[in-house]
Structure formats: C-alpha cells, structure tokens
Chains A and B, each alone.
Chain A
Amino acid sequence: MRLSELLGAPVTTRSGASLGRLRDIRAEIHPRHVAITGIVVGQLGALERLGIGAPTTTVRIRTHDVIPWEQVVRADRRGIVVEDDAYPR
C-alpha cells in the first residue's frame, strides 16, 4: 500500500470507538531497512505532522499520540483498527 492511502484514514478501536485520523506513521531507521513501529493519531498528531514535538525537533510540546504497531489489528484502505485498550503514548 501507499503511504498516501493511509494518511487521513479513520482510526477506530475494535469496538468501534473513533480515535481520530491517521496523521503520520512512526518508523525506526535501520542500516538496510526502515521498520514501521507505530501510528500517529488525533489532534496532537496534527501538530506533530507540522513538526512541532516530533522526534527531530527541539520544540518540547507534548504530542504523545503514537499507538505502537503491536496494537494495530488491521490497516487497509477502509481504515485502521486498533485494540480496545490501545492508548496513544
């Protein structure tokens, strides 16, 4: 899938609660590959998408809206579904 297809997709829990939209995808850079490690969701995620409070900035504003990939149940064109107890950290 393309990143552009995931950006802006709705993020819901298994039981249907809405957590907002996918703003960005957190990944980890390795020497030979880049591994997806989480998703950035919701209102504060929008700030992080602009670059406020993201891993590479100096601006210290709380943006902990990252859900670890382990808690993602399904991700496709229809949207992203996460575990009920998934909590943006």
Chain B
Amino acid sequence: MKRILSVALGILAAIGGFVDIGDIVFNVQAGSMFGYQLLWVVVIGVGGIMTYAEMCGRVAAVSERAVFDAVRERLGFGVGLVALVAGQFVNLMTLTAEIGGIALVLQLLSALPYRVLLVLAAVVLLLVLWLMSFQWIERVFGYCGLALLVFAVAAIKLQPDWGRVARGFVPSGGSGDLAVYLYFVVGLIGAAMVPYEVYFYSSGAVEERWTPKDLGTNRANVLIGYSLGGILSCALMICAGALLLPNGITAELLGTVALVAEVPLGQIGLLLALIGTLFAVSGAAIDSAFSGGYNVAQFFGWEWGRYRKNAGAPRFTIAWFVMLTVAFVIVMTGVDPILVTELSVIFSVVALPLTYIPILLVANDRAYMGRYANGRLSNVLGIFYLVVVLVIAAAAIPLLVLSNMGQG
C-alpha cells in the first residue's frame, strides 16, 4: 500500500513538473496561430521524452550513473567538451528565461516592479537550492504545479469543436505559412525533448538513490506521469486554439496565457493558472540551475548531488551558484524572457543529437546495464526518435530564419 502511495506521489510530481516555460510559450503560441492543427506534434514530442527518460531512469537505477558521463565516454573529450559548453549555454538561456518568467507571473499577482521581483525570484531560488533537500524541492514544486490542471478544465469549459480537435491529432500540412508551421513543429518537439530534461531526470534518479527495485517507479513516472503531463500541453494548445485564434490574439505576453483560464473559469481560474505557472516555471528554474551544476561536475568527474550536502560536493555547489548568478545578471539587463525562451528552445534543438546519441548507446552497454540493457521496443523507439531529432536539429536554424521566428 505504501509503495502504491509513493509511486502515485511520484507520478503527481512528474505531471506537475512536466511543463516548463518553453512548453507554455510554444504550445500557447502554436494554438493561437494554428488552432488544433499541431496537436499531433505534441504527441510526438511527448513520446520522445518518454522513450528517453525511461532509458535515463533505467541507466541511473541500474548503474547509479547519470547520463552526461556517457557524453564524454562515448564521444570523447573534444566533442564532449563542445557538447558541455553548448549545453551550458542553453541551460543558461533557459534559466534566464525562467527567472524572468517567475518575475512576470509575480507581477501579475502583485503590482510590484519587474526588477524588484527579479531580485526576489533570484534570492528565493538561491535559498531553496542551498537549504532544501532534493526530495522536498521536487515534491513541493511538482505538487503545486498541478494547479496547471486548471487549463484542462478550461479546455473543456471552452467547448471547442471536438471534431476539429480530434483532427488535430492527425498530421496535416496546416493552413497558412509553411515555414511558420514547420518552425512550430521543431519548437514543440524541442520544448518537450529539451536536453536539460533528460540530464535532470537521470541525475534526479541518482539523487533519489534509485536501485533496480525502482524500475517500476521509473516506468510509472514516465508512462503515466509524462503522458498526463502531455495532456496538459495539449490543453494549453486547445485553450489557445479555442479562445485566442478566433479573436486574433497572439500570445506574446505571459498574461495572455493566464487569460485563457480566466475567460472560462473566472477569478479562480486566473489564480490557479498563475499559481500553477509560477510553480512550474520556478521548478524548471531550479532544475536548470541544478543541471548547470550536474553537467559540469559530471563532465570533469567531480563529486555532485544535492544528497551530498553543500560542503560534500563543493565544486558542484559553486557551479550551480555561478550559473544562477550569471543568469540573474543577464535577466536584469532587461531582456525579454519570452524571446529568450524561444531562442533557448530552438538553440537546444541543434544540440539534441549530441544529447540523445550517447544515451541510446549507453542504454545498450552491458558494462552499465547488465541484463537491464535495452530491449527491442526501446531500441526501435530510440532509433526512431534519434532520426526525428537529427532532422529537426538540421532544420532548426534555417526555419528560425525563414519563418522570422514564427512571425512569418
């Protein structure tokens, strides 16, 4: 009974933690421009992260290793260091965007000036990272992120044309500018499969001290938790498609996102949407700050992990602190967090092959996995998504330019 409860709680945390600011921005924008026509892309993206997160969790549970090690071991020092630098650059952009996003949400909740809220956000993040244990962080931010379920309720309440919604799950060329359409295909898959997600999931499994006994939990988190999280992404797009597209509103402000919950559900809807967004984005900020520490420490072989305590993994601690500080300085210069979000997702798409190839290789390695190495299903899905990732990695920058960053 206790086991079922703990698995269920893990699933809840996975749902609440699934959505980050990249998912919010891309799903809502896609909905506001193309209605329901890109829902099939969300399914593909969610399938990809499910396939590879399951592998990462299994690698961590069986070998007690996180997957970034595999980047250096498989691709060598030179390529690995390039992957590290690129990954840290994208991590930094993501963290900058998330800190800005926190301040934007707080601005909608309070009336305080943006820069003051940036300082508040940074200080609170620092305190949480420094003082709270990993388990507590994941639970608190994961559960409170469940407030985002208000978007699922809103999607139903808006009474969209469910026939058109269903047709959105079938791939189509989309009406309108093809370059913009394809830009969103790339962005939606990228937002779902963004590298820090897998690095964080695998490091998190080591933080939670998973063993082969937790392989069931791993599967439950991924199959149930992530698919329900994917429904949240779909709900965002459906809400935007039902409300924003008919009224010609494009989602350039975070406030517009909250609007789609307020219109059908009133003040309660608005409040839950803001709280859910606040915790989802804060959780993602914490995850990307830790990822900055994890990646550097795992590349150089330093001790790492929140479970080692701050003084037990000093260079890891310094690494995430430096990342947080630099992100704070950047966002204080006044960059538009929404713009940084979009760029961070698209740039990270280019790095996706370097992320995912080593994971697939190491999940097949008996020295790591013993008898838990990939079966045929994992390999078929793994290779399929590797091809997807290679295609969108090649197309990302050209589409960014051709579609004028989704503006057409």
Chain A directly contacts chain B within the complex, with at least one CB pair under 8 Å? yes
A contact set with B: CB distance below 8 Å: 50-52, 54, 56-59
- Give 3 closest A-B pairs by Cβ, nearest first: A56-B367, A51-B361, A56-B366
- Tell me if B364 counts as interface (CB < 8 A to partner A): yes
- The winner among A51, A52, A56, A59 for most chain B CB atoms within 10 A is A51
A residues near B365, Cβ cutoff 8 Å: 51, 54, 56-58
Chain B interface mostly helix, strand, loop or mixed? Answer: helix
- Tell me if B84 counts as interface (CB < 8 A to partner A): no
Could you write out 23 A-B pairs with CB less than 8 Å apart?
Answer: A50-B74, A50-B75, A50-B361, A51-B74, A51-B361, A51-B362, A51-B364, A51-B365, A52-B361, A54-B365, A56-B365, A56-B366, A56-B367, A57-B364, A57-B365, A57-B366, A57-B373, A58-B364, A58-B365, A58-B366, A58-B373, A58-B374, A59-B364
- What is the chain A residue whose CB lies nearest that of B375? A58
Query: What is the CB-to-nearest-CB distance from A50 to chain B, in angstroms, rounded to a whole number?
Result: 6
B contact set with A: CB distance below 8 Å: 74-75, 361-362, 364-367, 373-374
* Contacts A51-B365, A58-B373 supplied; 17 other A-B pairs, CB < 8 Å: A50-B74, A50-B75, A51-B74, A51-B361, A51-B362, A51-B364, A54-B365, A56-B366, A56-B367, A57-B364, A57-B365, A57-B373, A58-B364, A58-B365, A58-B366, A58-B374, A59-B364
B residues near A51, Cβ cutoff 8 Å: 74, 361-362, 364-365
- What is the chain A residue whose CB lies nearest that of B70? A51
B residues near A59, Cβ cutoff 8 Å: 364
B residues near A57, Cβ cutoff 8 Å: 364-366, 373
Query: What is the CB-to-nearest-CB distance from A73 to chain B, in angstroms, rounded to a whole number?
Result: 28
A residues near B361, Cβ cutoff 8 Å: 50-52
Complex Cα–Cα for A52 and B365 (A): 9
- What is the chain A residue whose CB lies nearest that of B379? A59
Query: What is the CB-to-nearest-CB distance from B55 to chain A, in angstroms, rounded to a whole number?
Result: 13
B residues near A52, Cβ cutoff 8 Å: 361
A residues near B362, Cβ cutoff 8 Å: 51
Complex Cα–Cα for A58 and B376 (A): 11
B residues near A58, Cβ cutoff 8 Å: 364-366, 373-374
Query: What is the CB-to-nearest-CB distance from B374 to chain A, in angstroms, rounded to a whole number?
Result: 7
Query: What is the CB-to-nearest-CB distance from B344 to chain A, in angstroms, rounded to a whole number?
Result: 28
Complex Cα–Cα for A52 and B373 (A): 13
Complex Cα–Cα for A29 and B361 (A): 23
